[in-house]
Chain A
Amino acid sequence: MVITVVGIIRAHNLFAVVMLGGVYSFLMATVMVILDAVDVSMTEAAVGAGMSTVLLLAVLHLTRTREAPLRHKPYIPLFVCLLTGGALVYGTLDLPPFGEANAPQNLHVAPYYIENAERETHSPNIVTAVLASYRGYDTLGEVTVIFTAGIGVLILLASGVRRRRVKPDPLQDPKDDAL
Chain B
Amino acid sequence: MMRDTIILRVVAKLLLPAILIFAFYVQFHGDYGPGGGFQAGVAAAGAIILYGMIFGIPAAKHVIPTTVVEIMVPLGVLIFAGTGVVSMMLGENYLNYSPLRAAPGDGQHMGILIVEAGVFITVASTMLAIFYGFGGLADEADAEAAEAAEDGEK
Cross-chain pair count, CB within 8 angstroms: 159
Closest residue of chain B to A58 (Cβ to Cβ) is B134
Closest residue of chain B to A40 (Cβ to Cβ) is B34
Task: Specify which chain A residues have a CB less than 8 angstroms from the CB of B32 in the assembled complex.
Answer: 123-125
Task: Specify which chain B residues have a CB less than 8 angstroms from the CB of A43 in the assembled complex.
Answer: 38-39, 42
The smallest C-beta distance from B117 to any residue of chain A, in angstroms, reads: 10
The answer for the CA separation of A143 and B126 in the assembled complex, in Å, is 10
Tell me whether A127 and B34 are in contact in the complex, defined as CB-CB below 8 angstroms, given that A143-B118, A178-B138 are known contacts.
yes
Closest residue of chain A to B36 (Cβ to Cβ) is A128
Q: Indicate the size class of the contact surface on chain B.
A: 35 or more
The smallest C-beta distance from B115 to any residue of chain A, in angstroms, reads: 5
The answer for the CA separation of A146 and B126 in the assembled complex, in Å, is 7
The verdict on A14 contacting chain B, using a C-beta distance below 8 Å, is no
Q: Which of B34, B73, B108 contacts A151 (CB 8 A)?
A: B73
Count of chain A residues with a beta carbon within 8 Å of a chain B beta carbon: 51
The smallest C-beta distance from A56 to any residue of chain B, in angstroms, reads: 10
The answer for the CA separation of A18 and B152 in the assembled complex, in Å, is 31
The smallest C-beta distance from B90 to any residue of chain A, in angstroms, reads: 15
Tell me whether A143 and B77 are in contact in the complex, defined as CB-CB below 8 angstroms, given that A132-B111, A178-B145 are known contacts.
yes
The verdict on B9 contacting chain A, using a C-beta distance below 8 Å, is no
Q: Which of A41, A58, A131, A143 contacts B138 (CB 8 A)?
A: A58
Contact in complex: A150, B42 (CB < 8 Å) = no
Per-position 1/0 for B55-78, Cβ under 8 A of A: 000000000000000000110110
The smallest C-beta distance from B100 to any residue of chain A, in angstroms, reads: 11
The verdict on B89 contacting chain A, using a C-beta distance below 8 Å, is no
Task: Specify which chain B residues have a CB less than 8 angstroms from the CB of A153 in the assembled complex.
Answer: 129-130, 133
Closest residue of chain A to B119 (Cβ to Cβ) is A143
Task: Specify which chain A residues have a CB less than 8 angstroms from the CB of B141 in the assembled complex.
Answer: 174-175, 178
Contact in complex: A46, B115 (CB < 8 Å) = no
Q: Which of A115-168 contact B (CB under 8 A)?
A: 119-125, 127-129, 131-133, 136-137, 139-140, 142-144, 146-147, 149-151, 153-154, 157-158, 160-161, 164
For B95, B106, B111, the residue with the greatest tally of chain A CB atoms inside 10 Å of its CB is B95
Closest residue of chain A to B45 (Cβ to Cβ) is A51
Q: Which of A44-59 contact B (CB under 8 A)?
A: 46-47, 50-51, 54-55, 58-59
Contact in complex: B116, A132 (CB < 8 Å) = yes
The smallest C-beta distance from A168 to any residue of chain B, in angstroms, reads: 10
The answer for the CA separation of A123 and B26 in the assembled complex, in Å, is 14
The answer for the CA separation of A178 and B77 in the assembled complex, in Å, is 36
The answer for the CA separation of A39 and B26 in the assembled complex, in Å, is 10
The verdict on A64 contacting chain B, using a C-beta distance below 8 Å, is no
Per-position 1/0 for B113-146, Cβ under 8 A of A: 0011011001101110111011111101110110
Which residues on A are within 8 Å of B, measured CB to CB?
A: 38-39, 41-43, 46-47, 50-51, 54-55, 58-59, 61-62, 119-125, 127-129, 131-133, 136-137, 139-140, 142-144, 146-147, 149-151, 153-154, 157-158, 160-161, 164, 174-175, 178-179
Question: Shortest 8 CB-CB distances between A and B: which pairs?
Answer: A150-B126, A157-B133, A174-B141, A136-B95, A38-B34, A121-B108, A123-B31, A122-B109
